[in-house]
Chain A
Amino acid sequence: MFKYRSTVIFILLSLVLAVFISPFASSSPDGLEWVAEIKGFLSSGEEIIYWTHSLMPDYRIAFISGEGLSTSVAGFLGTIICFIASLLFFRIFLRKRKKLQSD
């Protein structure tokens, strides 16, 4: 078995979920949104938004008109971004340690 067998299986599973299953996800409000709606404070969530630079708000890509396709592409990109960000972040721990060992 080659070295990265598990990594490939695991990332493929994630991509299948994000690309092929996500267009079929329920678009109903989630638990918290639903509570906010029935208890009448949903609007306060829309009043204050500090961060307005999201590239893919609502897991959609603005210029792709097909709803399902838009979600699929956003899911694909998000999964890859999370993978790479996490890979880079956890490498920091190793780099520090190697530096200490070589000192």
Chain B
Amino acid sequence: MSATLTRDDLLRAYRTMRTIREFEERLHVEFATGEIPGFVHLYAGEEASATGVCLHLRPDDRIASTHRGHGHCIAKGMEVAPMMAEIYGKKTGICGGKGGSMHVADLDVGMMGANGIVGGGGPLICGAALAAKMKGTDGVGVCFFGDGASNQGMILEAMNLATVWRLPALFVAENNGYAEATSSKYSVACDNIADRAGGFGMPGVIVDGHDFFAVHEAAGEAIARARAGGGPTLLEVKLNRYYGHFEGDQQTYRATDEVKRIRETRDCLMLFTRRVSSAGLLDLAELEAIDRDVAAQIDAAVVAAKAAPKPTAADLLTDVYVEYA
């Protein structure tokens, strides 16, 4: 399992997953106070997916994300303080308060944006992969999307195009079982999203999204193949979200205790901790130190975001065009 993972990798993976969890849990609390504008979609429970994939990526690799994008942002290397400020709609936000939770992005680290349009990232990541191919780098593009987007034409077209152009791309279907309140058992016409890969001439792989190590291994193979010119892969990560489609969703459509049961038995952080400590790779004290550090970091981010100024009237009209006569 960890043949390719160094001790530093493991520490990094844990810190990333913990940062995402802490970020989302804190947002869950803070959103309820009414201080955060708009709405947020939390990634808690799905951390192993973003982390397992992005641990393979370099800054010049690109990812496209979804409306549930905070985890992808953090895993791709974005700073939490400007992200938090963005979600609060502040001028100090990574996007100056003009994007918000659903459009948080940082092109400097290869994060091409959360996306308010379900499936919107598929074509974009084909473009990122095409750019890498044209420039002759061995960079890759990774598109994260959900089970809802797996039925969206843009994603299906993008997967076909990626194979036709033999693009260095990876399509990561994060199947958390629900598109808003509609179960994927109802809305996806085949048993697995990965079953569709054959129709697009690419390998389809299914992994358990609660298991960081499984995601990491499968993503590693797919990304190495893409870098080597072997074309795209569809990776279906089966996982669960802990919170509703958006904050305020009471999840009455889910079975009683469904989330509680998953949290207690299959939580990705719990499985990771159990695995690394039983194998003697990391000790619990180290992980607890990371927990304390991350908690302090998120707390500082929230305090700073709350204190930060809002954008002003002068900001309304800027950043539409590079230049406009």
Same complex for A and B? Answer: no
